[in-house]
Amino acid sequence: MNKEPVVSVRNFSLKDGRLIILLGALVYLAGMFFLTVSMRVDRVTVMHGLGVPAMEPLFGDTLCVARWCDGYGRGEDPRAADFKDPSGKIISMNYPGIFLGLHHLGLTASRINGWGAVLGAVFVMAVLALAGRCTLIEGVVWLLALASPSVVMVIERGNFDILIFVLIVAAFLLRGRQVLSGLLVLFATALKLYPVAALAFLIMRKKSSWSLFLPFCAAAGVIIYFLLGSIGHPGGDLGLVSCCFGSKVMALILAQQTGINPTWGPLGSQLFALATIITLTLLGRHEGAKFDQSALGDRALTAFWIGIPVYFLIFLSGDQADYKMIMALFAIPAALGWIRLALKSGWIPKTWLVLFLIYAYWLFFSDEGSLRNLLLRQIVAWGFFMITAVMGGFLLPDHWKKRIFSEGK
């Protein structure tokens, strides 16, 4: 078995695709600055032209957390229903209280530009670490994903989902030390609920991991139990449709744009999505019974099973902002490896990449306010969700394949 390359700056060479990613990110940033200055327009207008649903101020989500930290520092309770920022706008805290600890790390409203820039830089470095050594063409694919409006959105907002992404990437890089890796996932779960699904990688790697998976799930259950009492509106919907994805969004579009409330409703959408995952994963496992997923290597398979279950849980949750599509990036190593090695059913990873890019770049080419385009975009989102489930069936490890088919006899 070939030794996996160590992710290190020293591994960079002119033939390393990560160089394309890094240089492309710098060119994107420089290009945006040039357009803003040369066209004498504001940043938001330029970013809208690039398809990014930008808002004022820059790093707005970081600012929101900073306002909570400022209030906490003054002895106020940001979780109070009537907590207001200096302008008088009510911004009651809907994050776990652990985020208030950022006050002790220096997060204040006056420092959001520095914090936002650091979050953005750390995110790009995490993407480089996830990509690992790759060909130049694969580097272009990674750059297209990184520069897509859906992904740039998380940097523009300065959203702390970046921190979740970084923690899960760190857990992935430390996959050889499963206890430490699992602890990182638990820490991410303490920040937001959905990273708990990343624990799936513990049972996907080998049979003996059940001895780790069960206590980690028990610990995650305790964390979630205490979090539910401290998070504002944990089951609430964003109510957005133009830059969101998820099982409920189609129903929301019909309700908001046409006044039609489907009889199956949001809960029906979620149940249908859950049934879809199960059905298509089993279908993929059946069709890929002789598929040699081990040829992709432990790195690509672990990346898939530590990130994609989180994407599935996010999709099932209802309606989530597009920037949470960053969790789908964990499937790119497996998709690119599948294509590079010309493995069986190569149409699956190719279709996956095409649908990901179509969805991620939709707002660059499309009028986001059109009902037709809103519906078409959600059809693409569902198609991507479905092909990911099929892909997951093909990539189930051998011991799960034997378990499924032995039970089916």
pLDDT of residue 208: 54
Q: What is the dihedral of CA 228, 234, 235, 237, to 10 degrees?
A: -170
Confidence at residue 41, expressed as pLDDT on a 0 to 100 scale: 84
- Asked if residue 174 belongs to a domain, the reply is yes
Residue 70's contacts (CB-CB under 8 Å, 6 or more residues apart) are: 103, 108, 109
pTM: 0.90
pLDDT band at 165; cut points 50, 70, 90: very high
Residue 384 lies inside a defined structural domain of this protein: yes
**Which structural domain range is residue 186 located in?**
15-408
Specify if 235 maps to a domain.
yes
pLDDT value at residue 105: 92
Residue 371 corresponds to which amino acid? L
Tell whether the model's pLDDT for residue 8 goes beyond 50. Answer: no
- The answer to whether position 89 is within a domain reads yes
pLDDT of 23 > 50? The answer is yes
- Answer yes or no: is 164 within a domain: yes
**pLDDT tens digit sequence for 239-298:** 456 788 999 888 888 877 777 766 567 778 889 999 999 999 999 988 988 888 889 999
- pLDDT number for residue 251: 82
| pLDDT on residue 70 | 93
pLDDT digits (tens, 9 = 90+) for 61-91: 999 999 999 999 999 888 888 888 887 888 8
Structural domains counted in the chain:
1
Residue 163 pLDDT > 60: yes
Structure tokens at 68: 């909570």
Q: Give the pLDDT confidence score for residue 137 in this predicted structure.
A: 95
**pLDDT-based confidence at residue 236 (cuts at 50, 70, 90):** very low
Q: How does the average pLDDT of the chain come out, rounded?
A: 86
**Is there a domain that residue 5 lies in?**
no
The whole-number average pLDDT for the span 317-333 is 94
Q: What is the pLDDT of residue 7?
A: 42
Check: CB of residue 151 under 8 Å from CB of residue 325: yes
**Does the pLDDT value for residue 102 go beyond 60?**
yes
Query: Above 70 in pLDDT, residue 125?
Result: yes
Q: Across residues 299-314, what is the average pLDDT?
A: 95
Quote the pLDDT of residue 10. Answer: 52
Give the residue with greater pLDDT, 1 vs 223: 223
Question: Does some domain include residue 3?
Answer: no
Query: Does the residue 7 lie in any domain?
Result: no
Average pLDDT over residues 331-339: 97
CA distances from 389 to 155, 274, 384, 394 (A): 27, 10, 9, 9
The proportion of the chain whose per-residue pLDDT surpasses 90, expressed as a percent, equals: 55
